Structure formats: structure tokens, C-alpha cells
Amino acid sequence: MITFDDVVKVYPGGGTAVDHLSLELPTGRTTVLVGPSGCGKTTSLRMINRMISPTSGRVLIDGQDVAGEDEALLRRRIGYVIQHAGLFPHRTVLDNVATVPMLLGRTRRQARTDALGLLERVGLSADFAKRYPAQLSGGQQQRVGVARALAADPPIMVMDEPFSAVDPIVREGLHREFLRLQQDLGKTIAMVTHDIDEAIKLGDVVAIFRQGGVLAQVGTPRELLEQPADEFVAEFVGRDRGLRSLSFDTAAGLPVRPVSEAPDLLLDDAGRPAGWRTGGGAAGTFTSADSLRLVTDLTITSPAGMAVRVGPDGKAEGVVSHHDIADHLVRRRETK
């Protein structure tokens, strides 16, 4: 666990960048620091690997104050990923990834074999290994940056806006890969972004900062969407937070009507939804494991105003309309 214990940072000649920050970043999880520009996110992040020292207070890793640790040893345990990847321009992709393990004493051969494995993990084939950073797209460079930070197999990763320099479609892909990798690796990750959607998507824990380096609220994405502490947080997470919070609920508790209540629904011989009699198009289907947000979306886009729940065999089990979802949400709120 990484702990900020009443940390203050005042830059000489500047104002207070971080104001009495107390925060815990749980081991093996991703904590995202998010907030408007200049609110002290990067300053906080860099106090973890001692690129910046607190004016007062302590940053602890598993109970040990980082101020008392050997800087080189500390940074070896902490992978660092920055915007634009920060790759060595005159080294090949393979050498960019293999350099740190070689510095740590691995043989050149072993380091290069490991580097190829890491590149593959982040979605880059061996074809990229011989290229130079300038010969890669922004998204590919960012992947190399992640592979390089992972090369020393550090238990902790600090990532400063790692995905912000790429276009939205590439970012989507990097997000998916990040979540897949993190599910496998379970690193303790501290990530900075100014994008609340990214924070909600990638964070197990999200810490929202406000101007002046003050922590406004910390919680799971769901907690922030459902119970924002104040107006600032509510505004920051977005006015559509109710709809977005439906991503965290599955359709398991959502009652469905019998299929006979949807006479417009066409079924094939095996009882699987085949489309709608009027309006055309495929019938939107979901399972109990899908999110309420998806089901809501399906009912809105369906010509019949309904979505169809299917079982593991693909057979129609029942239907719901957006009215049914609204009723379900009201009932759920009343019983909470």
C-alpha cells in the first residue's frame, strides 16, 4: 500500500501545490488521481518515487517512509510511464525495453528475450523490435513505454497521463489492453489523468482533486457517481452520472416479462430471437451478466422499445422495456 500521510507541497515562489493530502492507494489495485489542470496531481505522483520531496508529511510504501530509502533502489521498484512515452530516440524498440533489465544485471540475451515477450504482451509483434521510436505511431510508442516500465517487473507503477497523447480510438484500444494486463499482473498503480471518463473506466479507486491541491473525494467509481460529496464532484463526474452509474449494475435482478408479451418478436425454430416483425433489425439481446446500462441502451435503440434476455443457449427468456427498467430503478432506490 502507498500512503500519503498529511502531505503538503509548497513550491518556492509558488503557491500550495498539494494541501494536507492523506490518501491510501491499495496494493494490487489501480488508483487514479484526477482533477482540473494545476490541482497537484503530478506533484503528488512524483512524491511517490521521490522525484519531488514533500514540504511536510510523509509518503510511505508498505509502512516505510520513502524519504529514508535509497533512491536508486526505490525507483527500481517503481515503473514510471509518462505522456509521449519518453523513449530513447536513438535506441531500437527492443533496446528501449531491454536496457533497464540489463542495468539490473540480466544478460543481454536474456534481457532481449524478455523484452520480446513484454512487447508481445502489450500487443506489439516482433516486427516492431528493430524499429526506432520515430518509426512508430503515438499509440505504439505508448505501448513500448508501458513495456519498458514493466521490464524490471516492479510491483508499483506510476503513470502520468499515459494515454493522453493519442487519439480517442487508439486510446480505447490502450484502455482495453491496460485492463487486461492489469488483471494478469495486479500491480499497485498510481495514475494521473485529467479525464474523468478514463479515471472511472480504469480506476479501482478514484481520487478527485480540486484547485489548490485539495482532495475533494476518494472512492470507487461507483461511489463517486452515486454519492458525490459536493457540487464540485457532482459537476466534475458529469451531469449524466446516473446513467453512467448503471454500468456498475448487472441485469441479474431485473425482472423480465414473458416473451408472449412481445408479439412483435420473431423467434427461430430453436427459440432464439431473430428480429422484430415491424421496424426491422436484429433484436437486442442481453444476459443476466450484462450491465443495466447496456440493457437501457438496447431498449432505447430497439424499434419495439424492448430488449430480450437470452439464456446460455441463446434462447429468449423474457423481454423488458425502458419503462420496466425505470420501475426497477425506482423500486431499488426505495428498498435501499
Closest CB 84 distance from ligand ATP, rounded Å: 13
Closest CB 8 distance from ligand ATP, rounded Å: 12
Pick 46 or 257: Cβ nearer ligand ATP: 46
- Residue 37 lies near ligand ATP (rule: CB under 6 A): yes
Choices 10-18, 100-108, 270-278, 297-305; region in contact with ligand ATP by CB under 6 A:
10-18
Choices 30-38, 113-121, 258-266, 286-294; region in contact with ligand ATP by CB under 6 A:
30-38
- Residue 40 lies near ligand ATP (rule: CB under 6 A): yes
- Residue 221 lies near ligand ATP (rule: CB under 6 A): no
- Residue 39 lies near ligand ATP (rule: CB under 6 A): yes
Choices 32-40, 168-176, 226-234, 295-303; region in contact with ligand ATP by CB under 6 A:
32-40
Pick 2 or 307: Cβ nearer ligand ATP: 2
Closest CB 193 distance from ligand ATP, rounded Å: 9
Closest CB 145 distance from ligand ATP, rounded Å: 17
Give strand pairing partners of 41.
none
Closest CB 160 distance from ligand ATP, rounded Å: 8
- Residue 7 lies near ligand ATP (rule: CB under 6 A): no
Cell of 33: 488521481
Window 179 to 198, contacts with ligand ATP (CB under 6 A) = 194
Pick 98 or 237: Cβ nearer ligand ATP: 237
- Residue 89 lies near ligand ATP (rule: CB under 6 A): no
Cell of 282: 436484429
Choices 39-47, 116-124, 145-153, 287-295; region in contact with ligand ATP by CB under 6 A:
39-47
Nearest-angstrom CA–CA distance, 291 and 327: 16
- Residue 11 lies near ligand ATP (rule: CB under 6 A): yes
Q: Which residues of this chain interact with ligand ATP, rule CB under 6 A?
A: 11, 14, 17, 35, 37-43, 194
